[in-house]
Structure 1
Amino acid sequence: MDRTGETVRVVGISGSLRRASFSTSLLKILAVKAAPAIDIQVVTLEDIPLYNEDLDRSPEVPSVASFRKIIAASDGVLIATPEYNHGMPGVVKNALDWASRPVFESCFKDKPVSIISSSKAFTGGVRAQYQLRETLISMHAHLVMGPEVVVGGVHAKLAEDVYQDEQGLTFMLRSLDRLREEILGRRLVCA
């Protein structure tokens, strides 16, 4: 069965709250470049409160309920995160703590996930990516394998919502292709 014309729905989660966030910019650029094969809905985390188990009950916190619903309805997830102090930002970990509930049955369970990390440093946020992978594995997410996508010197590669590094952009799009292939493969199995 030829599935080349099928569109997959991916939630692009930005791990930065900054108005001029590099992570959000990367997701928006990728959303344009990957369309129509991949429909990326960019989501930011400023409305997600700090995790508090006392609040994790019915009725759900509206912003958390919406976040969980968007992820559950998607075919896959792309997380774009900066690196802060050799790790992932607290807002990313916090959002994942909310999304990880109920334990072993979260909206991330078996969901294909890809990661892009970035940093002004040449290392490109690789240490944040390792922490993020560990958390996602504990949530039973399905990490899409392939070369890690790390964007070093991200501040020099973005100008007016245009990504200046063509090779780097091609590399990111190939990673998205792997995510799409994983999603389409799962559709075949379920059909």
Structure 2
Amino acid sequence: MTKTIGLICGSLRKNSYNRMIAESLTTLDDSAQYRWIEISSLPFFNEDLESDGSPESVASFRAAIQDVDGVIIVSPEYNSGITGVLKNALDWASRPRTSSVLNRKPVGLIGATPGGFGTAFAQMQTREVLEAMQVNVLPFQKMLISQVHEKIDSQQKVLTDESTKRYLQRYLQQFIHWIDQAPVPVLD
């Protein structure tokens, strides 16, 4: 059965390298379907908003996550950490705690940066947040794309580096296969 993968970009920037990388995923492996899960319209997390009934943008965001088999988060790193918009989105997805839409959902992490370390620090922090939410994060795999500005044609907004394309293809194939292998909870 064809898997549906949700794509979340942890950047709101118009010409985000990470959005370009996420967009390239949709062309690298046609064994899955891909859907964007947008986070730009989410309000800042506030339990008061939640107790008054979640805003429509939050309900749509949660429904989009619920409707996919797995999620790949493609995000930059800001000041050696997770982006604010991504953390906000994860906070909304984690609620209500007893029925989080990400609970046990397979999630993969990819990140790109013009710097030399990829997004190692941000991915480590994101992984910690997701594990606290009891999310099944693809183990042992880090997809860190450094010097991304040299691997993308910014005018065409496409990934041009063949080695990175092959690496992303292998990552996608492993993630899609892993969706069916993701561990089941020992305790609920």
What TM-score does the superposition give when structure 2 sets the normalisation length? 0.91
Structure 2 distance, partners of 1:147, 1:104, is 28
Checking the alignment, whether the CA contact within 8 Å between 2:114 and 2:148 is kept in structure 1 is: yes
Deviations 1:20-68 (A, max 9, x none): 1111111111112222x11111233210110010001353211110010
> Secondary structure of the equivalent of 1:12?
strand
> Secondary structure of the equivalent of 1:64?
helix
Structure 2 distance, partners of 1:91, 1:34, is 27
Structure 1 distance, partners of 2:177, 2:77, is 28
Q: How many residues align?
A: 180
Checking the alignment, whether the CA contact within 8 Å between 2:28 and 2:165 is kept in structure 1 is: no
Query: Residue 56 in 1 paired to residue 50 in 2?
Result: yes
Partner of 1:181: 177
How does 1:90-101 map onto structure 2 within 5 Å?
Answer: 90-101=84-95
Checking the alignment, whether the CA contact within 8 Å between 2:37 and 2:65 is kept in structure 1 is: no
Checking the alignment, whether the CA contact within 8 Å between 1:17 and 1:44 is kept in structure 2 is: no
> Secondary structure of the equivalent of 2:180?
helix
Question: What are the ranges of 5 or more consecutive residues in structure 2 without an aligned counterpart?
Answer: 183-188
- For 1:170, give the aligned amino acid: R
- For 1:86, give the aligned amino acid: S
Structure 2 distance, partners of 1:105, 1:179, is 24
Partner of 2:106: 112
Structure 1 distance, partners of 2:166, 2:43, is 35
Checking the alignment, whether the CA contact within 8 Å between 1:24 and 1:42 is kept in structure 2 is: no
Checking the alignment, whether the CA contact within 8 Å between 1:79 and 1:116 is kept in structure 2 is: yes
Q: Which moved more, 1:101-110 or 1:63-72?
A: 101-110
Partner of 2:10: 15
- For 1:26, give the aligned amino acid: I
Q: Which moved more, 1:159-168 or 1:135-144?
A: 159-168
Deviations 1:143-189 (A, max 9, x none): 11233100001112110122122111111121111211122346xxx
> Secondary structure of the equivalent of 1:113?
strand
CA RMSD of aligned residues (A): 1.3
> Secondary structure of the equivalent of 1:114?
strand
Question: What are the ranges of 5 or more consecutive residues in structure 1 without an aligned counterpart?
Answer: 1-5, 187-191
Structure 1 distance, partners of 2:167, 2:98, is 33
Pick one of 163, 166, 169 that aligns with 1:170: 166
What TM-score does the superposition give when structure 1 sets the normalisation length? 0.90
Structure 2 distance, partners of 1:81, 1:104, is 27
Deviations 1:90-115 (A, max 9, x none): 00000000000011420001100000
Structure 2 distance, partners of 1:58, 1:112, is 30
> Secondary structure of the equivalent of 1:79?
strand
> Secondary structure of the equivalent of 2:51?
coil
